[in-house]
Structures are given as structure tokens and as C-alpha cells.
Amino acid sequence: MSSLVGNYGRYDVAFVKGNGCFLYDEAGREYLDFGCGISVVSLGHCNPTVTEAIKRQAETLIHTSNLYRNPEQERLGERLSRLSFGGKVFFCNSGAEANEAALKMARIYGNKKYDGLRYKIVTMKNSFHGRTYATLSATGQEKIHKGFEPIADWFIHVPFNDFDAVDKACSKGDVVAVILEPVQGEGGVCSVEKGYLERLRAYCDKKDILLIFDEIQTSMGRMGHIFGYEHFGVKPDILTTAKALGNGVPIGAVIAKPECADYFVPGTHGTTFGGNFLACAAGNAVLDVLTAEGFLASVREKGVYFKERLKAVFGSKAVEVRGTGLMIGVQFHEKSADFVRECMAEGLLVIPAGMETVRIYPPVNIDRENLDKGLAIIEKVLAGGKF
């Protein structure tokens, strides 16, 4: 009997080694990893640049606490600020913590600037923002709330891509922020519709409502840009990132415009481990790779190729193949979970998501040959006639 808490429905396989886009189990069997640990190891397993940075930092200094200056953290913060919209950066350990901090930042903004009269936050149905108490309450999926009711009652869940619903939710003047994922990953790789973000941005500017983008899954090259919002051309007031920022080393970050970030002063928020030397060394190494000349353009080029090949491979078997860059979702009519298992049996790892969708997230530095290997496995699974 395992001594572990049974809160995960784990597959019966244990991996002991990784290299690039491949994982190896205890028996030495090779798997092509098109899930990247749910969009975390986006530069592949044991990426040489990241591994070297971690080794070097581990031999130098790992942790001192946030009581002291940290040049590695300052460097990563400066780079994230410069690569985004010039905001200030707070580091933590995960996406949930980043979203928790963003929500607190919005609440303190409303409390300080509007004497507590603005405290509600509009969030989207089918969204996923984490599993802390505030972030699960922000999440727009009842299955995530189940067992933990009553959830925090200051979130208003509205249909995704429904501007009128946002306008109605904000009509009483008590809303301080709107939070959304530009692409809902957990929800089934569902993107904002054309024009929605532009309209939302203009509305929030007019009403002095903060616009928060949860980019835990969509940033760090997954969509062919450092941040997913670059694909849509609309900047937020607050942005959260995590997952691929450390390529497997736990790290999350909040980037916020000074008019929001400046409400965080000593004593308002903090973290013990967040942004320590080791995590920030990994983050800087990730940015070294992502910002190399031509790298992100190659992700966009591979994304177009892969999506078109997937459409051809699935044909009428899938409801839809959708996504941007190498953040691809394939929605089935049914049995998407079975498809994930069949792929695994053939040596390909993909990830389940909502709406009978399978997420297919290859490493963003994968080569064309291994993309084709993955496609060949999918073709083989489909040829079995079960889907």
C-alpha cells in the first residue's frame, strides 16, 4: 500500500530518465513526450543550457531568503519586465501562487484606491487558475469547487468570450479586476475570439478595472512568443507566468504595472522560497534559449506545420484541431481519455483536458524528425479503428 495521499489518478508507469523529447521508464522503454509535464519542460528533459546553469548555481549558492538582495533574481526580473510591458516582478514557486498573488494585488488595489468599494473579480467559466482556496474559487469549473464549498463569494463567473456578460457583471461598480487565460489550456485549449481582448482592454481602461492575464500555460514560447498575449496584441495590467519558466525547477512570477505593484510593500505579501538563486538561475537559462535569434520564429513555423499535419491525420475523426504555436488541442466526440492511454501504449505521451480534448504539447525546441515520429504514432493509434 502506498503511503502517498491518493489525490492523483496516476498512470501505472514510472519514469527514471529523460533526454530532450524522450522519457525512459524503469524497464528502459522509450516514450516520446508530447506533454512536457503539462507544459513545464518545454525545452525538453535535462536541457543542456538549463542543466549547466542549475549545476553551476547549486555549487555556488541555492538560497538565502528574500531578506537579502539576490542579483540572480534582479537579473531575471529585469529581463521579464523588459520582454513584457515594463512592469515590476514578484517571484514565487508555482502558477497557483502567482495567481494568488495577482488576486491579492487586485484586492489591495481596490481597497486602497477605492476604500474597499471595489473588491469583486470577474473570471471566466471553463477557466483554471489553480488549487489554493482563492484560485480554485476563481476557477470557472464546478468539478474543481466540489467538496470545498462554499467558495469565496467575491468572484463572478461569466461565459468566456461574452463581452456583454462582463459589462453586466461590472454594472454595480464593485468590480476591481477581470482575470482570464488568453487560451484556456486545462479547459480544452479554447482561445479568446478575435476582437474580444481589444474590446475588454478598452472597457477596463475606461472603467479603471484591472485586466489580469493568467499565462501560466501560454507563456515561455509555447505559443511562439515569450508571452501568449503578444499573439493577440493586447497588454494586461497584471500577468502571471510559471510552468516553463524554470523548465522543471519550480518558479512562478507576477508582472504588474507599477500602479498595481506599488501597493505591495514590506509586510503585505511574501514567500520563503520564491525566486531563490537556483530557481532564478534556471529561469535565466530558459530565457537565454528562448531569446536566441530565430528561436521563437522556429517555434511558430513548426507550429503551423504540426497543426496542419495533425488536421490531415485526424481528418473527420476529431471535432476540431485547434491552437497556436505548439499549444495544440484535439477535441474528440468521445473517448479522449482512451486515446491518451492508447498513445501511451504506443510510446507517445499526450495530456487529457476538458471538453473531451487532448492536449498535444511537444517541446518547443523539438526537431521536425521527432514531430513526424509523434505523428506516425498518432496515425497508428487511429488506424486501430477505436476512434
| Distance separating alpha carbons of residues 310 and 111, to the nearest angstrom | 49
Q: In what order do the strands lie in the sheet with 30-33?
A: 15-19, 22-25, 30-33, 348-349
Tell me if 271 is assigned to a ligand binding site: yes
33 in a labelled binding site: no
Reported as a single tens digit per residue, the pLDDT across 173-200 is: 999 999 999 999 999 999 999 999 999 9
Report the candidate in 257, 211, 218, 261 with the shortest Cα–Cα distance to residue 234. 211
Q: Is 90 flagged in the annotation as binding? A: no
CB 125 within 8 A of CB 290: no
pLDDT at 2: 87
For 187, the grid coordinates are 479547459
Residue 331 counted as an annotated binding residue: no
Q: CATH class for domain 15-47+294-384?
A: alpha beta
CATH 3.40.640.10 domain locations along the chain: 49-291
- List the chain residues with pLDDT less than 50: none
pLDDT of residue 319: 85
Q: For residue 353, give the H/E element and its range.
A: strand 351-353
Q: What is the pTM of this model?
A: 0.97
Q: Does domain 49-291 have CATH number 3.40.640.10?
A: yes
* 184 among annotated binding-site residues: no
Task: Determine whether the annotation assigns residue 228 to a binding site.
Answer: no
Has 22 been labeled as part of a binding site?
Answer: no
Give span(s): CATH 3.90.1150.10, the chain: 15-47+294-384
Q: What percent of the chain has pLDDT over 90?
A: 97
Q: What is the pLDDT of residue 318?
A: 74
Annotated ligand binding at 167? The verdict is: no
Measure the N-to-C terminal CA separation of the chain; round to a whole number of Å: 35
- Judge contact between 160 and 215, C-beta under 8 A: no
